[in-house]
Structure 1
């Protein structure tokens, strides 16, 4: 649209000086006005009124007090030397005791940056102050375009005049419908200049959603990009059909930015309102979409200007910085942190004409990019690409790089130095060589990805907030040390507290500040539900540590948040998918995804009586076809990724509300069942192409090859829109080519994927090709679901009777069981009845989330034992031989999935009933999985049911048995205890510490665990034996 260069004679600099002087004058006027306001407030007390101070009432009260007691309440104002008091007592005391502490406190407080009156004040100041500097860049069809702040101002006024000329009045609402472009931000400011409110919507919205937004937001106009206008030619006609006389006008950016003649332009600008109020609504942000009445968050000018002031005080963006815009701009996180904040600081913003891995890499490597705002999925993709490139150079290079990443992470956490830009210079050069910040938000970032990027030398700042808070509430501060798991401290001016915290300090997160929304548009009931005395109820569960850092531990709302930070509302998805006669009812929930977000899952109850001529399998197929058809018409993030059918009614409360937590449990069990049934599908040796495409998929999804089957759905393997982009690049790297990018986005299974690609070069291998871990197993015994349910019930009943009626059972220390974290349970072991006793001690709810570990060579060595263990117990196998990581793969999986693991550290049952030495394996798991340990002492089980006994003897009846649960040993405590100790010795120390705790409970002692003494004893033993100690190594 415009492309101007800075005048050689330096015209822009004189303009900047004038703007700075004008701003200084305005600041002086504001300060003077504030002083005058304060004087006016106190003037009645100082000048206008002659107040008389009297003491007769107090004297009358004092006279009532007995003479001998008056000295206890001295009151002699006539004897007080006020001059002496103020000069020699009060002020010296203030200087000595109050002012130093106050100065220190003020030094520690973060200072807020200047807060603009409204967004138009921000716009005017920035476009004048940075007039000749580049504000926005984009490369379209090989042509580089750039817009200075002066260009942005001129185009904004042009758009505002166009809107006002065409009937858009102050307080009207205008939909902004576009991908990320420079024109998006210019159009937004144009809407505000016209005095209207902007309604930014997702560029992936369907026509039905646009119509619903226009209806709910009472929009008078729609500004649309030429690209979307071409994609939705039916939009105008559909609006007329749906809205009749109230149909909003639809204009493209080209129309809005068209240059009128000078006279016409002057007429249009005269229609613009002179100013807006700070509490006027700037944006209406819809938080739900197609059906019913969507909720729209009202965010005012003041909400945004306060947010910019808060973010600017933490992120020191300036004229030397550049931001790459990747997230959709209708997302408030990108809008505030990636658009308004850079714009207010003179930081240039780079946009991509198309979001692809090639465009992204090109912009980062060749553009001026020092910061990026993204959701976890973006950083997951970046992390995978870096790891793959390292693996391409050989396994030994990748292993060395992993060690260097860990080393630099430690250096950054413990010293002021960051060696990443030097050690990993090529990686930083690939990221442009100037990257200062990677800002993550929208959903939780994987701790592994955060740690690795930190170790590579990048500064990753994770934030937390909601659309209702404009949107940031807390953010990690720039610094060398990484606070794992924390979303940082509240922004300056934001108050965060925990409502009704439990014993662990966990409760609902409440927030208050000038960035909190005005409310929901035309929805007073919803507003009152979340806003109380200006406190915003976030619906998230969290805790705050002693340093003020917030940790989010869960969410009490039903909203599903995927790895891209998209909010998906279950009620809306249920309504979309339930419109089939073959479906009696369904429930939509979020299941944990491997990349840190959640995936949409549905549990469906079929109506088998809808068509009595159809068999059950045919009805199920009809439902699958219905889901496939509905998914084809939805944006990817709204599609159901996991679907299971059940013949049983959905669990409901007394008021007939579906119990979503129980739905989640059922779906997780069904997923685990299917995983066991379809795991390790062995491809034919002759079908080389299928094996090749499975390896590509396994590489991109970061899964073992055995977990990728021919008919697996790509959505079930965690594929999102960004991963499809990466998939195309991986196919080409592996010697293939995609026949059509459009076809690639439509495939649903691995088998369908093979039909959309062509293998060109069979000599190429994947750089990070997964190892095949498939072996033929004998035919397994299939247990029908009815038999399994009846059997499970029988086993549970028998165990309960054993510990309640047969044995005399005593449980102590149940208050030590952690509630909000998963953990390793570590008891001593002397009997087969130990497992059931531990689960009884933990309580029913915790026991259901606890999986016991058993020796594979004993409990899973035949198909009959496997059939029983897999269907009627929660035991998982562990190999007692072979590599450590391979042996513990099942245990690490269940820990990663959030379950507790019951492990007997001694490895096998005691032959004498005494506590055998605990093996270092629990130390290995604790440190590598970052998880705590719960010690438990079991007693009486050896006497009741010793090793070698197969059925209970007469002496077992009434035998006294018991479990005492010890103090929980958190990961942080174990990590600090082993800091600076070699890995192998650290694992052994943790095992010894846990055994020490169990022995203390056995002996009724509280002896401290002396780490130096234990290490000294071990060293002496090694010296005496002069034998190498057998250790567990990496």
Structure 2
């Protein structure tokens, strides 16, 4: 059975992809018939397997004895004369005759004739749940044993069934009720995407409360403003964000806000059974369909943010509408990429799959590598995203094709265009066959991508179409829960259209002009209740139950909506995030050097960039030159930007000497400002293009090539003075840029400054370079050597015997030949695993460290350079079988190497890390690298400082002769993870890693000198800040001299 099932699965998947999206004639009929046959084989084998598993306990696993004592007793109670009327003689019963001649004929006569009618596909009708709790209870009970959520976190794979989700949501609800959260209260939810997010959300609803989802990138000021505006009773946040906002509780108290602040650890802590029963008894029996489920604020730090009230009925109606369009079932899985506070992700990527029994996979971090790994390894058939995500995948696919060769890349481009044409003209989709490796690289199960948040680039949409993927585009806004229209899976691709209205939603154009363009208005059961505590805003947006979107659009004859522009002034970036100009203008204008400014959204093909036009105040300080004045303004903008989330920062800054255009009421005319900005941008592009070829011939050509590749821009548009923001860089692209630099043989010398660079020139100052060509050649040579050479096989008995003999010889060598002494072995922790951090000056250091740890040394692994210790088959045979060394690539991805190291720590091993990075030539300690701090905090393990004595004298770097010297190890006090976390509480991560490295080095130096000097973290941080300010001042001084 499993063999037939496996054989049927792959053809069925391929036929699904090749199935006509509309019409199809004979080709479609043939594919349908083949598909029906294959599906039937798969269905029969699955049912057979399920029946077998169902009866396994009764037929194989347990020797059951079936008795009929009770039936016999009842039979004996029947009058003797009447017993002959009931034929009951189990000993003589002919079961074969019964099944063949009685039971099956009965089925054929009474049951089988109705099966076809019963099983015939009916027009799809999706039940609309009364409220979200009915949806939740029904789904979690119906699919109790199925996996609901998956996450790979800290090297461990976690999964939660629907029953688990229900149990944990109930526990959260009981906790909230026991802490005094009453029905109607509002609870803020502040976390990155994780299973705990959804469990906490439904926990709040089960307690009768409403939920206020908050962007995990929000500042402490924004959190406080949301709490005040929403009259929140509590804040629930992840441990990570609790650490990043360590002063939140104090700030809330200072503002006079009396809120509970709990972490997920508090909410999901398991009480005793009696306590939990008492808590559950406090929960309300039901909620009202029109009560508020989510209160979502659409603006941030200053002023009075608008809170959109979405009821239970709004959201269950949205789920019903989406389910009628997207045929999602228990066979599907969704990858959650957008933040869950985003209503688009919440409705489409959370509530809808949850209601259909599908799986949801979460990412531990949003990087291109993690994304590709989750799609390939997880059960992912669909994904919801914004244009920036599809651009990332598109760029990754194209880059991989052209990396193989230009010929392959150009051929693929032609095939993409050809298949796009075929799909447009016929019902066939050849993409899954022609681009099979790409589809398999993305898991091989993708049915469709759904894009929303902002306009999708037409070229990217067409390329995905040509690759054989179906990418659908939707439109909506938070006030509509949030989808209004979406393109359909079965329809042809309409470039530029955002599809037809969802079932039950009415969309029309108000006051259209001669071209049919007007404001898009809509109504339906998904439209919000209104704005919280803001009647005026509600009345101006909801007019006679019609939602006025503020967007301009038109409808074609088939009812497809095309958006033309925005009548509102909200800026929507490539990630679909809303940016409010008024809010930013108030922050950025707070400088005496700024006379006036205006912030607008500058279109860039994928969304809008936050752009600002400034009029500098010439009269404030007449001693300043025009260049100096503008430099002061730029410094002010840089300081303000550093305090804002990335998506809110001004990406494009231009100056003008003329007064900003205003109306009679002195309101800035943003449309005219936008026209001025577009003119300035165009002239700047011309200037940059003229200087691009000169920069391309410079010695730093390699970094310009990388920036151009990652940003998917022509190389002529990139020069040393090009601002990364002008190329569309966001936080996601910066991570990809870092990976691309490492893959090209570069190294980031100042990670703490990397995310702050403004232009290519600043990027060059934080990146070190090796020849990219040489790096590729070396890597290719190593790969070819490994492929071409046969690995040496070591039998298991040889490996075991060799390890035993090696341990004995190692102990004799260190104890007898080298006269070894150990101090401080009582400091070795026995209750947890840990990182060992010794100084490093000899190849003897690893063995000495292992011997010094005694029993703890048996679980010790050491990370060793693959290009040194594992560079040929002979070394690999020895190192992999007779040592505890783990290969790590020094020239590969830093993130991959660190993830490899963390995986061992997370599995309970002790790991030795030499924080200096390499052996010392002189025996003197070098600075400890921050990687030891990163591994400690990321894996939540402590650090054991060790000073190794005499190894440099016994065998220095460069020597192959071991001298008979006294060697030893001094083991210092254990630095528990709780101590390290307390020391770095509230600090930026890069500074925290650096401080931990400095602390470890300080302790090793104390061991070396046999002193007990106090480590003054505060003084060290002050010194670092002073050095940083001096560097900035020196840089400015040099800049002025050059000017």
| TM-score (norm. length: structure 2) | 0.62
> Is 1:115–1:305's contact at 8 Å kept on the other side of the alignment?
yes
Show the counterpart of 2:500: 489
Aligned with residue 441 of structure 2, among 430, 447, 456: 430
Query: Offset at 1:761?
Result: 3.6
CA separation of 1:605 and 1:110: change in aligned 2, threshold 3 A: farther
Query: Offset at 1:319?
Result: 0.6
Aligned with residue 129 of structure 1, among 118, 130, 142: 142
Show the counterpart of 1:145: 158
Aligned with residue 308 of structure 2, among 297, 304, 307: 297
> Is 2:448–2:470's contact at 8 Å kept on the other side of the alignment?
yes
Query: Offset at 1:683?
Result: 7.2
Residue 773 of structure 2 is aligned to residue 763 of structure 1: yes
Residue 544 of structure 2 is aligned to residue 533 of structure 1: yes
Q: Distance in 1 between matches of 2:700 and 2:533?
A: 55
Residue 726 of structure 2 is aligned to residue 716 of structure 1: yes
1:113-163 CA-partner distances (Å, limit 9, x unpaired): 110000000010011000011000001111000000000011001100111
Show the counterpart of 2:364: 353
Structure number with the bigger relative contact order (C-alpha 8 A, sep ≥ 6) is 2
Query: Offset at 1:765?
Result: 9.2
* Structure 2 unaligned spans of 5+: 1-49, 58-119, 778-1043
Q: Distance in 1 between matches of 2:619 and 2:127?
A: 67
Instruction: Indicate the SS of the match to 1:650.
Output: coil
Show the counterpart of 1:641: 651
> Is 1:126–1:346's contact at 8 Å kept on the other side of the alignment?
yes
Aligned with residue 183 of structure 1, among 189, 192, 196: 196
Q: Distance in 2 between matches of 1:500 and 1:766?
A: 61
1:153-210 CA-partner distances (Å, limit 9, x unpaired): 1100110011111111111010000000000000000000010000001000000000
Query: Offset at 1:580?
Result: 0.4
Q: Distance in 2 between matches of 1:341 and 1:486?
A: 23
Q: Distance in 2 between matches of 1:109 and 1:254?
A: 46
Show the counterpart of 2:215: 202
> Is 1:696–1:766's contact at 8 Å kept on the other side of the alignment?
no
Show the counterpart of 1:627: 637
Equivalent runs, 1:420-459 vs 2, <5 Å: 420-459=431-470
Show the counterpart of 1:163: 176
> Is 2:695–2:720's contact at 8 Å kept on the other side of the alignment?
no
Instruction: Indicate the SS of the match to 1:680.
Output: helix
Equivalent runs, 1:853-892 vs 2, <5 Å: none
Show the counterpart of 1:362: 373
1:449-503 CA-partner distances (Å, limit 9, x unpaired): 0000011000101000000000000000002621111101100000000111112
Aligned with residue 391 of structure 1, among 384, 402, 408: 402
Q: Distance in 2 between matches of 1:684 and 1:542?
A: 44
Show the counterpart of 2:573: 562
1:12-38 CA-partner distances (Å, limit 9, x unpaired): 99xxxxxxxxxxxxxxxxxxxxxxxxx
Q: Distance in 2 between matches of 1:145 and 1:642?
A: 42
Aligned Cα root-mean-square deviation (Å): 2.3
Instruction: Indicate the SS of the match to 2:450.
Output: strand
Aligned with residue 211 of structure 1, among 224, 228, 238: 224
* Structure 1 unaligned spans of 5+: 1-5, 14-106, 768-1034
Equivalent runs, 1:582-981 vs 2, <5 Å: 582-594=593-605, 596-681=606-691, 688-739=698-749, 741-763=751-773
> Is 1:158–1:257's contact at 8 Å kept on the other side of the alignment?
yes
> Is 2:517–2:552's contact at 8 Å kept on the other side of the alignment?
yes
Q: Distance in 2 between matches of 1:691 and 1:422?
A: 39
Q: Distance in 1 between matches of 2:179 and 2:53?
A: 40
Instruction: Indicate the SS of the match to 2:498.
Output: coil
CA separation of 1:666 and 1:605: change in aligned 2, threshold 3 A: same
Q: Distance in 1 between matches of 2:253 and 2:241?
A: 18
Question: Aligned pair count?
Answer: 666
Show the counterpart of 2:1040: none
1:688-745 CA-partner distances (Å, limit 9, x unpaired): 5421111111111122222111122111121112211221232233232334554321
1:858-906 CA-partner distances (Å, limit 9, x unpaired): xxxxxxxxxxxxxxxxxxxxxxxxxxxxxxxxxxxxxxxxxxxxxxxxx
Instruction: Indicate the SS of the match to 1:551.
Output: strand
Show the counterpart of 2:521: 510
Q: Distance in 2 between matches of 1:576 and 1:644?
A: 17
Query: Offset at 1:266?
Result: 1.1
Aligned with residue 420 of structure 2, among 406, 409, 423: 409
Show the counterpart of 1:886: none
> Is 1:683–1:690's contact at 8 Å kept on the other side of the alignment?
no
Q: Distance in 1 between matches of 2:493 and 2:270?
A: 51
Q: Distance in 1 between matches of 2:750 and 2:383?
A: 30
CA separation of 1:264 and 1:405: change in aligned 2, threshold 3 A: same
Show the counterpart of 1:316: 327
Instruction: Indicate the SS of the match to 2:327.
Output: coil
Show the counterpart of 2:393: 382
CA separation of 1:311 and 1:686: change in aligned 2, threshold 3 A: closer
Instruction: Indicate the SS of the match to 1:715.
Output: helix
1:219-244 CA-partner distances (Å, limit 9, x unpaired): 010000011001111110011001x2
CA separation of 1:306 and 1:371: change in aligned 2, threshold 3 A: same
> Is 1:680–1:707's contact at 8 Å kept on the other side of the alignment?
no
Instruction: Indicate the SS of the match to 2:293.
Output: strand
Query: Offset at 1:655?
Result: 1.3
CA separation of 1:685 and 1:219: change in aligned 2, threshold 3 A: closer
Q: Distance in 2 between matches of 1:348 and 1:428?
A: 20
Query: Offset at 1:766?
Result: 9.9
Structure 1 stretches of 4+ moved >6 Å: 6-13, 107-110, 683-687
Query: Offset at 1:413?
Result: 1.6
Q: Distance in 1 between matches of 2:147 and 2:419?
A: 36
Q: Distance in 2 between matches of 1:190 and 1:657?
A: 46
Q: Distance in 1 between matches of 2:509 and 2:175?
A: 48
1:767-796 CA-partner distances (Å, limit 9, x unpaired): 9xxxxxxxxxxxxxxxxxxxxxxxxxxxxx
Equivalent runs, 1:210-229 vs 2, <5 Å: 210-229=223-242
> Is 1:416–1:480's contact at 8 Å kept on the other side of the alignment?
no
Q: More deviation in 160-169 or 745-754?
A: 745-754
Query: Offset at 1:111?
Result: 4.9
Instruction: Indicate the SS of the match to 1:627.
Output: helix
Q: Distance in 1 between matches of 2:539 and 2:340?
A: 28
